[in-house]
Amino acid sequence: MNVELPTLDKARELLQKYYGYPDFREGQTQIVESLLTGKDTLGILPTGGGKSICYQIPALLAPGLTLVVSPLISLMKDQVDALTAMGIPAAYINSTLSGKEVNDRIRAARRGDLKLLYVAPERLELDWFRQEMSELPISCVAVDEAHCVSQWGHDFRTSYLAVSPFVESLPERPVVAAFTATATPEVTEDMVRLLRLDDPSVFITGLGRDNLAMSVLRGENKREFILEYARTHEAQAGIIYAATRKDVDDLHDRLRQAGIAAGRYHAGMGDEERDAMQEAFLYDDIRVMVATNAFGMGIDKSNVRYVIHYNMPKNMEAYVQEAGRAGRDGEPSECILLFSAQDIVTQKFLIEQNPQDDLRKKGDYRKLQQMIEYCYTNKCLRWAMLDYFGEKHDHKPCGNCSSCLDDRELVDMTRDAQIIFSCIHRMRERFGVSMVASVLKGSQNRKVLQYGFDKLPTYAMMPRRTEKEISELINEFVAEGYLMLTEGQYPVVRLTAKAAEVLKGQREVMQRAPRPVQESAAGRRRSNRYDLSPSAVNETVFEQLRLIRRDLAQKEHVPSYIIFNDATLREMSVIQPQTEQEMLRIKGVGELKFGKYGKPFLDFFKNGGLGAVPDDDAPDEMDYHGTDQDGFDF
C-alpha cells in the first residue's frame, strides 16, 4: 500500500497555524522538504536561523514520535515551554525530574500524547532507556548542536558518539536529522560519518545574516568603549563576552557603578546566583549580561540587540555562535569584537592550561591563528566568515561591516611590504612576528645581537615605526595571504607565493591608510550608526507593548520572548490591529498564540493605546554583587 507523503503546502499551513509565519525562511524550505520525503538530512543554519522549526514542523506531520537529542537542560526547557505555549504536545526527560515524572512522560509518549520528546545524549547510553525507546514508534531522531560529535568541533562531547549506536538499536531505523549553526568542511564530514547519516541531503545556508552588522575594532580603550556603548544603548538587551572571570567581574562592577542594570555569569559563581542572573536577563529585568563563554548555548532570547566581545574568542566557530545570539528575531543588531594583541597571549595561555593531546592542541592553535587573521583582515567580514565555513557566496561586499564601512583611502604599501618580506627571507623564515619586528626597528636586544641580525641589510630599516606597529603590519600581511604562520604556541612567519611576486616587483600591495591616533572608533561611532528600528515604529507604543508582554510573562512564568518576540511587537506598533484577523496577519502571531496571549494586546489598541498596561512600568532594582574571589585571574 502506498503511503501518501505530507506536502510542503501542509507544512506551511501548520507553520502559519502554530508559529504565525506565512512561509519558511531561506534554507528552511529545502530541509523541511527533505525530511518530509524521509531522507536523512544535515542542516547548517546560523544561530537564530530557525533550526528547530525544521524538525518541529515535520514532527507534527510524521506518524509517531520525534526524539530530539539536546545538550543542555535549559535549552530543552526553553524549547518545550515554547512548544507548549503554541499548543504543540512536547516534553523533556532529564535529571531534574523524579523517577515518577520520567515514567509518566514515557507513558504519555507510548499513548501517543506527545509529538516531540527532548533528551540529553548521555541518556542514550542507558540500557533501560534504550529498552523503553525501542517500544515507542520513533519516526525521527533530531540531533541538535550536532557539531559536538566531532573532536574538531569547538564543543566536542563524547556522549554524542552514542547517537549512532542508539539509532541502530531501534527495531526500525528512523529518519535522522542533524543540525548545527557552525561547521567547517572538516566538521561536516565528521557529522555525516560519526552519526552514520544514510546518503544525507546536506544544506549549508544563511550563515551571513543580513541583519547583523559585524565590526572588528583595534586599538580601543576597551573599558571606556563598553561603558559608552552600554549607556547609549541602555534600553536594548545585550551580551558582553570576556575571556576570563576576572574581566567579567571587573566589567560588571563598572557597569553597575555607572548605573547600568547589568548581570554577570561565569563558572566561578554558585549555581543559584547563575540561575538568578540568567532568569533576570531572560525576563528583561536586567538588560546587559557580562559573561564568559559558559553563558549562551541554552539562551534562546530573541531580542538581544548587540553582542560585544571584550576579548577575541578562541576560534571562528565560538565567535559565530556567540555573535549569532544577537538579532535572533531578524531585527538589525550589532556584533562588535574589540581586539588587542594581548588577546592572543590570553588565548594561548588558555590553550596551554587545557589538558588535551598534542593533536588536539595543534588544531586549537591553527583555529586560533585563523581567528587572528579574521581580526586583521581588510576584506569584507562576511566574506571572511563564509569562506572559513565553506559556504558559497556571490562575493558582493555586505556594505554593513567595519571593513566595508572603512572610508580610509588605499595607499601603496609595496615598499614597506618588500622591506618586511626581505627581512623574513634573510632571517631564513625561522622566527616569529615579534623577532622580525625587533630587527626592522633596529632593536639592541640580546637575541637580535646573538643571532647577528644587526648585520643584516634590513636591520633598522623601519626606525620611525614602533615594534607594535610593525607587528600589526606583519599580521595584516598574514591576513591578506602574503605571509603565513606555522601552527603551534610559537608560530614562525614564512613567505607565500604572493610575497615572492611582491619581492620580484610583479605585484603591488595596497593597504588602508593608518588611522590618526587621536581618532578612536568610539569617537567615530554614533548610537544611530545602524538604525535599529524602522522609522515607522512608534517607540512609545512599542515600549507599552513590552510592558504588556512582561506582565503576561510573569503570570505564565515564562521568558518574555515565549509570548511574542520584539519583531512581532514592532510590527504590532506599526499596524495597530483592531481585529483578530488583523492580529493574525502579523508575523509571529499564530492562531493558538493569539488565543492564549492576544487579547490584552488587542484590547490595548481597541482602547486607543491607553489600556491593558501594567502599573509597574519599571523593573525592580536588583542588587547583584558576587562574593566569589577565587575566579580565574590571568
Tell me, what's the pLDDT at 6? 80
More confidently predicted of 511 and 430: 430
Tell me, what's the pLDDT at 522? 40
Do 110 and 234 lie in one domain? The reply is no
Do 191 and 217 lie in one domain? The reply is no
Residues 71/157, Cβ–Cβ less than 8 Å: yes
Residue 591 included in any domain: yes
Residue 522 included in any domain: no
For residue 1, pLDDT beyond 50: no
Do 217 and 196 lie in one domain? The reply is no
Average pLDDT over residues 87-113: 93
Could you tell me the CATH number of the domain that includes residue 144? 3.40.50.300
314 to each of 320, 346, 350, 369, 609, how far by Cα in Å?
11, 9, 9, 9, 48
Residue 398 included in any domain: no
Range of the domain at 571: 533-634
Q: Encode pLDDT of 226-259 as tens digits.
A: 999 999 998 899 999 998 899 999 999 999 999 9
> What is the DSSP-derived secondary structure letter of residue 412?
E
Do 103 and 246 lie in one domain? The reply is no
Do 192 and 255 lie in one domain? The reply is no
At 552, which helix (H) or strand (E)?
helix 539-556
Tell me, what's the pLDDT at 388? 87
> What is the DSSP-derived secondary structure letter of residue 199?
S
Q: What is the pTM of this model?
A: 0.69
**Amino acid residing at 302:** S
Q: Which of 52-61, 358-367, 517-526 shows the lowest per-residue confidence on average (mean pLDDT)? A: 517-526
Tell me, what's the pLDDT at 608? 67
**Amino acid residing at 31:** I
Do 31 and 159 lie in one domain? The reply is yes
Do 562 and 503 lie in one domain? The reply is no
Do 375 and 487 lie in one domain? The reply is no
392 has which bridge partners?
none
CB crowding 143-154: b at 16 or more within 10 Å, else e: bbbbbbbbbbbb
For residue 604, pLDDT beyond 80: yes
More confidently predicted of 424 and 3: 424
Q: Which of 133-142, 273-282, 604-613 shows the lowest per-residue confidence on average (mean pLDDT)? A: 604-613
For residue 108, count other CB atoms closer than 10 A to its CB: 14
For residue 186, count other CB atoms closer than 10 A to its CB: 12
Residue 447 included in any domain: yes
- Number of domains comprising the chain: 4
Q: How far apart are CA 334 and CA 369, in angstroms?
A: 24
Tell me, what's the pLDDT at 210? 84
Q: How far apart are CA 210 and CA 389, in angstroms?
A: 17
Residues 262/290, Cβ–Cβ less than 8 Å: yes
Non-local (6+) Cβ contacts of 290 within 8 A are: 240, 242, 248, 251, 252, 255, 262, 263, 264, 265
Per-residue pLDDT band at 536 (split at 50, 70, 90): low
Tell me, what's the pLDDT at 534? 47
